[in-house]
Amino acid sequence: MTELTKYYRELGIRDEVYQFGDEILDSLKGRFEEIDKVAEYNQLKVIQAMQKSQVNENCIHYYASGYGYNDPGRDTLEEVYASVFHTESALVRPQITCGTHALSLALSANLRPGDELLSPVGKPYDTLEEVIGIRPSRGSLSEYGITYSQVELLPDGTFDYEAIEKAVGSKTKLVTIQRSKGYLTRPSFSVKQIGELIAFVKKIKPEIICMVDNCYGEFVEVIEPSDVGADLVAGSLIKNLGGGLAPIGGYIAGRKDLIDACGYRLTSPGLGREVGASLGVMQTFYQGLFLAPSVVAGALKGAVFAANIYERLGYKVIPDSKESRHDIIQAVELGTPEGVIAFCKGIQAAAPVDAYVVPEPWAMPGYDSDVIMAAGAFVQGSSIELSADGPIKPPYAVYFQGGLTWQHAKLGILMSLEYMVRDKVVELP
């Protein structure tokens, strides 16, 4: 027994589980090399953006408080984000608390009573249902007279262009496209697919605003939705772009007039983006963005490893073991509540923080069923860190993501399998 396998055994991984994983790893060298090439490209893109904006020590260590007027770190960071996304402008703030908040902000800032919001990719992520008013909620868009419609995907997970053309009407002001699958088992969309959809919609109605929920997708490919026609892209800094260091925050990048509108909604009319103190978080925002390409690469390797492990064991995995990746999320249809719970217990047991805690399903706000979440993270809710979650409802799929390093992601996947074996949910071949 080597010192490495000894450590795995001491952490609770039986030899059979480790060996099963090791056999699968031998076949993944080519995939991992492809992931590293994308990471290298995106690393150079970030460095170039930082150099172009002349990031300096004053940007990183200037501590703005109060109103936050003339905060050089905040303003320069937004220049960097606009450069990374190749957009006219960006809003990057700790006052944007999460991805749902960033999306809600972009929608409420750019829609008015009488406008229609259209999703051409089916149902949005659960927490947006209350933002929109699909599930009645105080302060929803529907309370302000903004209507909503959606077009379901075709059975094979592709866009129903015929139905979309019929759905775009005189009141359709904004189209929202969710890149990642959320708590669905549909495919996540490539940037190329998103670009084709945007071009189709713009041909029908050129003035329509196209917004992409970019959560979990940043730096997975060498281009972003803003490179293929998206007017707005939005996401969370406690996912990919924060690199595991950002303690809070969200971003919106896109057309200047639309971003300015977001600024006025975030603070107040007349103030907009001029206020909003950074409160000492700039170093984590800059350094997190710098690290993000390599952190995303580690998470992608973990997702590919998980897909190959569980596909070999006979489970349906989305995407499958050989498909190209368009986000960091790996869905596994486990078929039973016991499978979802055992998987999440294993992920929690592999964490550096709260590893002794046993996750249980609960009625989490914003969801329509009990949800189990495993995440022993340095930042609460940070899903670029090793985490897994899922609703306790059919088809009983678990959604695995993150891992600040590939090595930690590997441990998490092996530990999830260890707990599945312990709880007699699965047998090794």
Element (H, E) at 375: none
- Structure tokens belonging to residue 81: 């984000």
Contact between 110 and 95 under an 8 Å Cβ cutoff? The reply is: no
Q: Which of these, 232, 170, 164, 152, lies nearest to 197 by C-alpha position?
A: 164
The pLDDT, as a whole number, for residue 129 is 93
Place of tokens 């990719």: 121
Helix (H, G, I), strand (E, B), or coil: what is residue 8? Answer: helix
Cis peptide before 319 (omega within 30 of 0): yes
Q: Bridge partners of 398?
A: 332
Helix (H, G, I), strand (E, B), or coil: what is residue 374? Answer: strand
Q: Which of these, 291, 292, 299, 318, lies nearest to 307 by C-alpha position?
A: 318
The pLDDT, as a whole number, for residue 182 is 80
How does pLDDT run along the chain (429 residues), one tens digit per residue? 688 889 999 999 999 999 999 999 999 999 999 999 999 999 999 999 999 999 999 999 988 889 999 899 999 999 999 999 999 999 999 999 999 999 999 999 999 999 999 999 999 988 899 999 999 999 999 999 999 999 999 999 999 999 999 999 999 999 999 999 887 888 899 999 999 999 999 999 999 999 999 999 999 999 999 999 999 999 999 999 999 999 999 999 999 999 999 999 999 999 999 999 999 999 999 999 999 999 999 999 999 999 999 999 999 999 999 999 999 999 999 999 999 999 999 999 999 999 999 999 998 776 778 999 999 999 998 999 999 999 999 999 999 999 999 999 999 999 999 999 999 999 998
Round to whole Å and give the CA distance between 78 and 253.
Answer: 9
Across the chain, which distance is largest between two alpha carbons, in Å? 69
DSSP state of 325: P
Contact between 343 and 388 under an 8 Å Cβ cutoff? The reply is: yes
Contact between 176 and 132 under an 8 Å Cβ cutoff? The reply is: no
Residue 119 amino acid letter: S
Q: Is the dihedral of CA 336, 339, 344, 345 positive or negative?
A: positive
Round to whole Å and give the CA distance between 227 and 379.
Answer: 30
> What distances in angstroms separate CA 106 from CA 73, 96, 411, one per listed residue?
23, 11, 37
- Calculate the dihedral angle through the C-alpha atoms of 161, 163, 169, 174, rounding to the nearest 10 degrees: -60
Round to whole Å and give the CA distance between 168 and 398.
Answer: 34
Rg (C-alpha) for the chain, rounded Å, is 21
The pLDDT, as a whole number, for residue 63 is 85
Angle at alpha carbon of residue 64, lines to 58 and 66, rounded to 5° = 165
Contact between 148 and 132 under an 8 Å Cβ cutoff? The reply is: yes
Contact between 251 and 96 under an 8 Å Cβ cutoff? The reply is: yes
Residue 352 amino acid letter: P
Place of tokens 């923080």: 353
Q: Which of these, 11, 97, 95, lies nearest to 380 by C-alpha position?
A: 97
- Structure tokens belonging to residue 31: 């995939």
> What distances in angstroms separate CA 199 from CA 3, 194, 235, 426, one per listed residue?
55, 9, 22, 45
Angle at alpha carbon of residue 108, lines to 104 and 111, rounded to 5° = 135
Q: Are strands 116-119 and 89-93 parallel, antiparallel or unpaired?
A: unpaired
The pLDDT, as a whole number, for residue 300 is 98
Q: Which domains does the chain have, with CATH numbers?
A: 3-42+293-422 (3.90.1150.60), 61-289 (3.40.640.10)
- Structure tokens belonging to residue 231: 């007017």
Q: What helix, strand, coil percent values describe the chain, rounded to 5? A: 45, 15, 45
Q: What residues have CB less than 8 Å from 47, skipping those under 6 apart?
A: 290
Q: What residues have CB less than 8 Å from 220, skipping those under 6 apart?
A: 38, 240, 296, 300, 325, 326, 327, 328
Q: Which of these, 91, 99, 89, 94, lies nearest to 63 by C-alpha position?
A: 94
